Structure 1
Amino acid sequence: MNRKIVITVLFLMFCALASGQENPWSLTKCMEMALQNNIEIKIRQLEIKRIQKSQNSVLNRMLPVINLYGEQGYNFGSTIDPSTNGRVSSNIQNDNFYLNARTNLIDFSAFANAQKDKINIEQVKAEKEVVENEYKLQILESYYQVLYAQELLKIQKEQFKQASFNLDRITKEVTIGSKPQSDLYDMQLSFSEEENRNLETEQLYAIKKIQLFQLMNITDVATDEVVLEPYLNERTIDSDNELYSPKIKLAELNHQNSLKSIRLERASNYPVLSAYYGYSTFYYKNIKQANANTDSFFNQLEDNKSQQVGMQLSVPIFNGFRNSKKISASKIAGDQTKLAIEKEKQLLDKQVALEEQNKKNYLQLQHKLMEKEKYAKASLATTQAKFISGKVEAILYSSVKNQSLSAEYEVLKNDLQLQYIDLKINLLRKNRF
């Protein structure tokens, strides 16, 4: 019997522990899981692979192009006899075979295209980094929105415990007649307000967590068990002045690509030196002269073969100024991409300047909030002593207690906001946190 009781108690303790288990999530874990699950980032990764597979090196572009042709034809009526090269009135069957190979020995377009291919790969990588950076900023903001609600809920739960204690105490005092009924009404009203605020914060906290995990594309996690980890002791203060913005990098690559486009258009004005090789043979047969003395198929292929080797130099002279117009247009595009770099730098500087000003404001406010917290704790200590001795009412003590807890939360939230700004500035300037 005792054994059954022990097993039952252990089982109930295990269930209580299991039901009370929390699932902690850090900012780093959220970022990693979000990047793994984001569909747009996966699409960008496949685009990088596609561009890499379609890239052609200079050597690949200079490899010869080899073609093999074969045709069979019939000539009826007056035709040319291939054996005598004279016109005869007969029907002749022709089988012709050609093997051609051509390669460009000097082609400036091949070099320009190969360089553009390399920049194209870097461009799609930079585009992926831009998407990741913007996505990280969204995750960061959503994470701290949940964190604000989470810390507020902790404070309000402490307030609610105090309100419950005061309500219970006043109820007992009214019951024994030491307090008037009006005090109970006041305390019940205060308790109801605390209860409603607590419920609203719980609902907001649940919504914010669901929004965060939806943003991360995670659906197999019970969000009601998730607890976010604050970074209060890990505030990021990075004194490194190195700048690495994915948007600026992408703008710079676009400018480099536009410069290569100018070079590619200019390559159309340069000569191209090519080498070629040709091999051909044929077979013929007079269809009407079935008994004619015609050599066999393979003997004719051997006798009629011919080869051709040569080099060709193509020098552009005039094409209606089309290349000149394309070069001018490419130069204008280059100027546009150069201005786009300056635009991205200006936007980044403005955004960082605003965040720096917010950080300065929060730092100034932090000192005031800490002073307020100190005064609130001192007021709570004196009021608590008066409350214990019966010199102040419970509702006054409850109000002072709530003020102290609110002051504590304001300091905590301000510190969280400073963390958020530090992390956001690092993401904007260096794509890391």
Structure 2
Amino acid sequence: MNNRIVLTVVFILFCAFASGQENPWSLTKCMEMGLQNNIEIKIRQLEIKRTQKSQNSVLNRMLPTINLYGEQGYNFGSTIDPSTNGRVSSNLQNNNFYGNARANLIDFSAFANAQKDKINIELAKAEKDVVENEYKLQLLESYYQALYTQELLKIQKEQLKQATFNLDRVTKEVAIGSRPQSDLYDMQLSFSEEENLNLETEQLYVIKKTQLFQLINVTDVAIDKVVLELYLNERTTDAIEKIVYNPKIKLAELHYQNSLKSIGLEKASNLPTLSAYYGYSTFYYKTLNQVNTDSFKNQLENNRSQQIGMQLNVPVFNGFRNNKKISASKIVSDKIKLVLEQEKQQLDKQVVLEEQNKRNYLQLQNKLMEKLRYAKASLITTQAKFISGKAEAILYSTVKNQLLTAEYEVLKNNLQLQYIDLKINLLKNNIL
């Protein structure tokens, strides 16, 4: 009986301990879950499959087309006798059967269309990559906004612990008469302000985490248990950094290649086409209300005919319509080429701005570290004066808040450097 009680108590304690455990989420984990759950990305993946299924190779386009036809009809009165092709006055039943096959032996349009199909598949993949890249940038920003708030909250909680200790100390000292009542009022006011600031940060932290998990479409997670992890992955190597792969530029390049293939397709309309064909036909006829001498089988065999041949189609003149289409396609291609240059310029400008921001934060880092050292030293001396009664409570609270501000500025500056580093990687290489 005692063993059961002990096991029950251990189980309850284990469940309580497990329920209070934190749930760590890294940036990589958020990215993986977000990419899996994003509906727009799923739509793009289906579009890739549709484009692949729609692709026709050159061989597929050159395969012959085969058609079979069957027809039954009745003619009354003055009709054509199928056996003599002469007009007679009679009622006839006709059964006609046709079969034909045609294949293009030389067709430059088939080659051009097959090449465009391949590019269309790459275009669908590039469009998915663009959606993914934009989503990654959005997710990266949301993650670091929540991370900023989380780290600020940690600093504020530590400061609040110290403020609680100091408030208790001043309360006791006022009670024994070693400090004036005004110091207690000042300390209570400072403590109340820190409590309110801590509450506001906690509320903002919940909102930022909720926005993050809404963005990755994860709803079965207890937000209050989630702890975001700092991204500690090392920088990519120089060899990888030299690779510039931006999905928007890749998409623009594919559009330009597709426009060149469109010009080739229009030019193919001016080139000859060589095709081969084969035809087979037969028929059966019967005069209604009379007995025919030839059976159905014999008539089909006797009336059959076959055709085989080759056809060469050489465009000579079409009112300059093809030439106008070619000229229009060239203009479209030039336009798309300018769009490609525009995308490259926009990427270069964005990367230059981010790199300048990075240099600014690096320059600011030393200044902020120096300010933090001064704030710590100032707090130590002011705290000593406050304990000995040589400094007022309001001065001590002010110096303590200055340290809080300095600590957060250093923290945020470091996180900003990390965020910009990852953002540049996403912009240039589409990887973290």
Q: If the length of structure 1 is used for normalisation, what is the TM-score?
A: 0.95
Q: How many angstroms does 1:262 deviate by?
A: 0.4
Q: Quick check: 1:236–1:419 contact (8 Å CA) kept in 2? A: no
Letter in 2 for 1:316: P
Helix, strand or coil: the match of 2:243? Answer: coil
Q: Quick check: 2:187–2:397 contact (8 Å CA) kept in 1? A: no
Letter in 2 for 1:246: P
Residue 367 of structure 2 corresponds to which residue in structure 1? 368
Q: Quick check: 2:246–2:428 contact (8 Å CA) kept in 1? A: yes
- Measured in 2, the distance between the counterparts of 1:7 and 1:386 equals 55
Number of equivalenced pairs: 430
Q: How many angstroms does 1:166 deviate by?
A: 1.2
Q: Quick check: 2:23–2:227 contact (8 Å CA) kept in 1? A: yes
Q: Quick check: 1:166–1:398 contact (8 Å CA) kept in 2? A: no
Helix, strand or coil: the match of 1:182? Answer: helix
Q: Does the alignment pair 1:40 with 2:34?
A: no
Residue 137 of structure 1 corresponds to which residue in structure 2? 137
Name the % identity: 80
Residue 186 of structure 1 corresponds to which residue in structure 2? 186
Within 5 Å, give how 1:228-377 maps onto structure 2. 228-231=228-231, 233-234=232-233, 236=235, 239=238, 240-288=241-289, 290-291=290-291, 293-377=292-376
Q: CA RMSD for the aligned pairs?
A: 1.9
Q: Quick check: 2:186–2:393 contact (8 Å CA) kept in 1? A: no
Residue 212 of structure 2 corresponds to which residue in structure 1? 212
- Measured in 2, the distance between the counterparts of 1:3 and 1:169 equals 47
Q: Quick check: 2:179–2:389 contact (8 Å CA) kept in 1? A: no
Question: Unpaired runs of 5+ in structure 1?
Answer: none
Deviations 1:213-263 (A, max 9, x none): 1111111111111100012x4453653222101000000000000000000
Q: Quick check: 1:162–1:398 contact (8 Å CA) kept in 2? A: no
- Measured in 1, the distance between the counterparts of 2:114 and 2:5 equals 79
Q: Quick check: 1:71–1:97 contact (8 Å CA) kept in 2? A: yes
Q: How many angstroms does 1:90 deviate by?
A: 1.0
Residue 64 of structure 2 corresponds to which residue in structure 1? 64
Q: Does the alignment pair 1:198 with 2:192?
A: no
Within 5 Å, give how 1:422-433 maps onto structure 2. 422-433=421-432
Letter in 2 for 1:333: V
Deviations 1:236-295 (A, max 9, x none): 36532221010000000000000000000011111110100000111011114x13x421
Q: How many angstroms does 1:16 deviate by?
A: 4.5
- Measured in 2, the distance between the counterparts of 1:5 and 1:177 equals 53
Residue 421 of structure 1 corresponds to which residue in structure 2? 420
| 180-189 vs 55-64, which moves further | 180-189
Residue 171 of structure 1 corresponds to which residue in structure 2? 171
Helix, strand or coil: the match of 2:245? Answer: coil
Q: Quick check: 1:235–1:419 contact (8 Å CA) kept in 2? A: no
Q: Quick check: 1:76–1:92 contact (8 Å CA) kept in 2? A: yes
Helix, strand or coil: the match of 2:244? Answer: coil
Residue 160 of structure 1 corresponds to which residue in structure 2? 160
Residue 18 of structure 1 corresponds to which residue in structure 2? 18
Deviations 1:152-188 (A, max 9, x none): 0001101111111111111111122222211111111
Helix, strand or coil: the match of 1:95? Answer: strand
- Measured in 2, the distance between the counterparts of 1:308 and 1:11 equals 89
Change (3 A) 1:388 1:8: farther
- Measured in 2, the distance between the counterparts of 1:4 and 1:89 equals 109
Residue 126 of structure 1 corresponds to which residue in structure 2? 126
Letter in 2 for 1:370: M
Q: Does the alignment pair 1:30 with 2:30?
A: yes
Deviations 1:306-357 (A, max 9, x none): 1111000011111111111110110000000110110000000111111011
Letter in 2 for 1:413: K
Letter in 1 for 2:404: L
Q: If the length of structure 2 is used for normalisation, what is the TM-score?
A: 0.95
| 303-312 vs 6-15, which moves further | 6-15
Letter in 1 for 2:253: E
Change (3 A) 1:70 1:8: closer
Letter in 2 for 1:224: D
Residue 93 of structure 2 corresponds to which residue in structure 1? 93
- Measured in 2, the distance between the counterparts of 1:176 and 1:262 equals 95
Letter in 1 for 2:22: E
Q: Moved runs in structure 1, 4+ residues, more than 6 A? A: 1-5
Q: How many angstroms does 1:84 deviate by?
A: 2.9
Letter in 1 for 2:109: S
- Measured in 1, the distance between the counterparts of 2:388 and 2:9 equals 42
- Measured in 2, the distance between the counterparts of 1:294 and 1:203 equals 100
Letter in 2 for 1:124: A
Residue 227 of structure 1 corresponds to which residue in structure 2? 227
Helix, strand or coil: the match of 2:79? Answer: strand
Q: Quick check: 2:102–2:278 contact (8 Å CA) kept in 1? A: yes
Q: How many angstroms does 1:2 deviate by?
A: 7.7
Q: Quick check: 1:155–1:406 contact (8 Å CA) kept in 2? A: no
Q: How many angstroms does 1:382 deviate by?
A: 3.0
Q: How many angstroms does 1:73 deviate by?
A: 1.4
Q: Quick check: 1:285–1:294 contact (8 Å CA) kept in 2? A: no
Helix, strand or coil: the match of 1:295? Answer: coil
Helix, strand or coil: the match of 2:221? Answer: coil
